[in-house]
Structure 1
């Protein structure tokens, strides 16, 4: 299973909200092992969300951190999805455009828009185990954005959350302006479907086409990274059996070997380099953190002969495996 990631754009407005609330964002980041100037350039592990929100609670002293920060969020966050809204002909068209690229924000989110008579339902499905503060903040951010995009005409009927424990009914109504239902089957916003036909004052077909192309490129980049990560996972599974070949990996991916090589080239990597990188990291880990004999490490790293392993390791690191182990332990 691939590791889920979030775009760094999800974190920046939260840090801005922390600053506006009087909390030092640097202290929150320090609690999860990051420095303010060391944010990941694009994507960061979704698994950090739980630790991040606990750090927010610790620093703000607010039990319901997501709700607390909603009031301090900037309305516009400079996201590409917002520009898709601006340049679309109607609010509904902009929403449907944005939903096509929801993965630009997070691997952990999927979204769907359904119209049921006079009610529209925006369903946001999040990965299991997500901290409740993430969807609660996200709901508030979406509501604020939708109101701004529609000049205040957006009318929300109710909010649904999967989690069963949270703030009081009064707290949710104060944050969202409507009732919140806990223990639902989905995360969802229910609103007046008439707003979908509201015209956009900033609609520009040329800009929409440009923003759409940019979103497609960014989504393609994420998908290329997915492929590289999946290949790395398969190499890790196959290397111990000495079957980490392009043909074996392509077979697992159900694609021709030639096609896999082409896609990796487009992603800027070579298959043999991925294999070598994994073998090198595994060998160093085994040498440093275990007492396995060199002969065993040779087998675990997928080499058929010790001499081949020795030559490869010296090419990677510059010293022999024995010298590497002795130096590091010394």
Structure 2
């Protein structure tokens, strides 16, 4: 199963909210191993959410830190999905446009919209084991954003949260302006469907096309990086069993080998280069950080003969494995 990731853009509003609440965000970042001054570009493992929110809760001194920070979030965060909203002709059209590209923010946000008579339900699609502070903050952020986009016409009716234990009911009512139901079957926001027809004062077809084109390119880049990451992970798994051929990796991804080769070419990489890069990095790590015998390293890096490994390593690094290990441990 591939590792889920979030875009750092999802955390930038949290950093702003921390600062607005009087909490030093650099202290939170330091506790999760990031340099002070802000978040790096790119995506980070979704599994890091638990550590991030634990650090955030500790630094804020707030048991219900997601709700606490939701009150300090800016209405707009400068995200591409917000521009899709603004340039669409109606709020509903903008919401449907944005939902097509929600993966730009997170692999876990499999959001969807359903209209049930006078009520609309925005499902957030988060996993049940997501730290509760994240969906509680996210629900507040969405309500705040939708209220701003519709110039106050948005009316939230209920927030559904999957976790069974949370804040007192009055706290949710205070932050969301509507009740929250704990232990629900999904993470979702229920609101009046009539707002979907609310016209946007900033509608601009030309800008919408430009924003959608940019969103498509960004989504393609996310998918490209995702494929390369999956292939690298599978190479590591298969090398343990002495395999890691293109055909084996393709089979694990449930696609023909030819299709995998084509997709990697479109991503600007070759399978053999990924194999070489993985073997080289693994060999260096084992030589410098362990006392494993060379014969064991040969096997773990997927080589059949020590002589083949020696020649390859000399070609990669410019010195033999023994020389590299000796120099690295001086």
Give the TM interval when normalised to the shorter protein.
over 0.9
Instruction: Tell me how far 1:197 sits from its aligned partner.
Output: 1.0
**Which deviates the most, 59-68 or 310-319?**
310-319
Which structure 2 residues correspond to residues 64-75 of structure 1 after superposition, within 5 A? 64-75=64-75
- Distance in structure 1 (CA, Å) of the matches to 2:139 and 2:38: 28
> Secondary structure of the equivalent of 1:125?
coil
**1:322 is matched with which residue?**
322
- Distance in structure 2 (CA, Å) of the matches to 1:104 and 1:194: 28
Which structure 2 residues correspond to residues 228-307 of structure 1 after superposition, within 5 A? 228-307=228-307
Instruction: Tell me how far 1:38 sits from its aligned partner.
Output: 6.2
**CA displacement 1:166-214 (0-9 Å, x = unmatched):** 1111111000011111011111111111111111111111211111111
**CA displacement 1:204-248 (0-9 Å, x = unmatched):** 112111111111111111111111111112211222444322233
Instruction: Tell me how far 1:6 sits from its aligned partner.
Output: 0.9
- Distance in structure 1 (CA, Å) of the matches to 2:110 and 2:268: 28
- Distance in structure 1 (CA, Å) of the matches to 2:181 and 2:253: 42
**1:30 is matched with which residue?**
30
- Distance in structure 2 (CA, Å) of the matches to 1:38 and 1:23: 14
> Secondary structure of the equivalent of 1:109?
coil
TM-score, structure 2 normalization: 0.95
- Distance in structure 2 (CA, Å) of the matches to 1:209 and 1:199: 18
Which structure 2 residues correspond to residues 1-330 of structure 1 after superposition, within 5 A? 1-37=1-37, 39-330=39-330
Contact 2:128 2:162 in 1 (8 A): no
Q: Give the unaligned 5+ runs of structure 2.
A: none
Instruction: Tell me how far 1:7 sits from its aligned partner.
Output: 1.0
- Distance in structure 2 (CA, Å) of the matches to 1:80 and 1:100: 12
- Distance in structure 1 (CA, Å) of the matches to 2:121 and 2:69: 24
- Distance in structure 2 (CA, Å) of the matches to 1:299 and 1:57: 45
**Which deviates the most, 205-214 or 151-160?**
205-214
> Secondary structure of the equivalent of 1:157?
strand
**CA displacement 1:242-288 (0-9 Å, x = unmatched):** 43222332343343434322321221222111101111122223323
- Distance in structure 2 (CA, Å) of the matches to 1:252 and 1:185: 32
**CA displacement 1:85-134 (0-9 Å, x = unmatched):** 11111111111111111101101111111111111111111124211110
> Secondary structure of the equivalent of 2:11?
helix
TM-score, structure 1 normalization: 0.95
- Distance in structure 1 (CA, Å) of the matches to 2:155 and 2:91: 13
Q: Give the unaligned 5+ runs of structure 1.
A: none
Contact 2:26 2:38 in 1 (8 A): no
- Distance in structure 1 (CA, Å) of the matches to 2:158 and 2:28: 32
With over 3 angstroms needed to count, the CA separation of the structure-2 counterparts of 1:88 and 1:44, relative to structure 1, is same
- Could you list the runs of 4 or more consecutive aligned residues of structure 1 that deviate by over 6 angstroms after TM superposition? none
With over 3 angstroms needed to count, the CA separation of the structure-2 counterparts of 1:47 and 1:284, relative to structure 1, is same
**RMSD (Å) for aligned C-alpha atoms:** 1.6
Contact 2:173 2:179 in 1 (8 A): yes
